[in-house]
Amino acid sequence: MGSNTDKSPAWQQELDVSESLTALKRQLSEEALNEPDGRQKLLAAARSLSHSLETPGESVQRLAYLPLQTVLLQVGINLDLFNILDRSREPVTTRALAEQTGADPALLQRILRFLAAIPAIKEVGPSLFTANKLTKTLTVPPLAAGFIHNMITVNPTWAALPAFLEKTKYQNPSDGANCPFQPGHNTPETIFEWFPKHPVNHEAFMLWMTGQREGRDRWLDFFPFPERIADGFHNDDPQAVMLVDIGGGVGHEVQAIKHYYPSLPGRFILQDTPETLKRALSVVSMETMEYDFFTEQPVTVPQKGARSYYLRNILHDWPLPQCVRILKHVAAAMTPGYSKVLLNELVIPDQGADIVGLQIDFTMMCGLGAEERSAGQWHDMLDRAGLKVTRIWTRAQEAESIIEAELK
């Protein structure tokens, strides 16, 4: 009997390859590469060509076994393989690596040849390995933490998603206390309640948050802060606040602003939980303030709120009702015609969304019952809170955007 696997006609496969080649050639031009998202478009074209060349069986192999790559990268990190290979000036044998890691040589050889096939390391001879570009990436603690965080915290929630959706009749998850996180980790707690009791998971998450922007445009590279915020600031008032960073962690965003624009006047206020603020950075002109963003916003200088209220990756953690509640507290503190809201979030396009944003979207769904949002959803949310979008600033869709808003 013949195989009943669906196969596209030969002419269709040839057409797919031809179209992918044409797209790749177009992106290889100097003009295309110099576009703001030229590199990302080239990557997309190259991946499209690779996928169009696959047989159905190869496509299934690639996708079905993809989680195994994350698993064995985690094993490599645990064994410190990537640091050992990166430090060595010469290729290292399996036996030498076994002596340094304490792993069984037979097991280690199986791990190493898999990692070389990804390729997370380079195989230069029989049982002989050295570092490559990805090896070096995996020696950077904040980037390696991304694998650890996904393995021990995120992956169990992804694995729980199919059964959860079937059980809930395929309704969109919108409750952090009733999403795949609970069955994935066998707990009734939300992730915010669970993290403090699991410090290894929380530490990996916090470290990954410092590394997830690597290789992406920062918002200060495309958002004209001096023109949109600093211009119009009431510098005659010594108590005037230039920016309130709501839920801003230890102050990396304020630090970045002051690095880009060291002569900016005014006060900068970092708001977060007491525990987080204990680790706040020392930044010129930055004050710390304990604050729960589900309560009334305290920075509303008499007769004048702050010039800007900044929230980075806060709202993608929460379903719509909670987001509106957070923003209403901000709106109540703002001064009409003066104060602005700056939301540093992803904006998912209506068509042709990049896989990076969609991966984060499902991670938010599984861990928090939340989501990444489209421009239309951001407009709707802000409108419900008494605000209006004045402009959405984006350089590349897989990177962060700035949603600029003011009182209606």
Q: What is the pLDDT of residues 365-402, one digit of tens each?
A: 999 999 999 999 999 999 999 999 999 999 876 678 99
Residue type, 157: T
Please, which pLDDT band fits residue 325 given cuts at 50, 70 and 90? very high
- CA-to-CA distance for 40 and 32, rounded, in angstroms? 10
**Average pLDDT, integer, range 351-378:** 95
* Residue 36 pLDDT > 90: no
- Spatial CB neighbours of 223, under 8 Å, sequence gap ≥ 6: 342, 393, 402
Tell me how far apart the alpha carbons of residues 396 and 354 are, in angstroms, rounded to a whole number. Answer: 10
pLDDT tens digit string along 207-241?
Answer: 998 887 776 778 999 999 999 999 999 888 888 99
Q: If DSSP codes are grouped into helix, strand and coil, which group holds residue 389?
A: strand
Model confidence at 38, pLDDT cuts 50, 70, 90, reads: confident
Average pLDDT over residues 30-41: 70
Instruction: Return the axis-axis angle of helices 105-117 and 94-101, rounded to nearest 10°.
Output: 110
Residue pair 257/244 in contact (Cβ under 8 Å)? The answer is no
Task: Enumerate the active-site residues.
Answer: 316
Q: Which pLDDT score is estimated for 20?
A: 67
Q: Residue 120 in 3-state DSSP?
A: coil
d(CA 234, CA 302): 13
In this predicted model, which residue has the larger pLDDT, 1 or 288? 288
d(CA 126, CA 78): 24
- Judged against a pLDDT cut of 60, whether residue 162 lies above it is answered with yes
Residue 44 and residue 32 in contact, taking contact as beta carbons nearer than 8 Å: no
By the 8 A CB rule, do 40 and 46 touch? no
Q: Which residues contact 246 (CB under 8 A, 6 or more apart)?
A: 271, 291, 293, 297, 309, 310, 311, 314, 330
Share of the chain above pLDDT 70, in %: 91
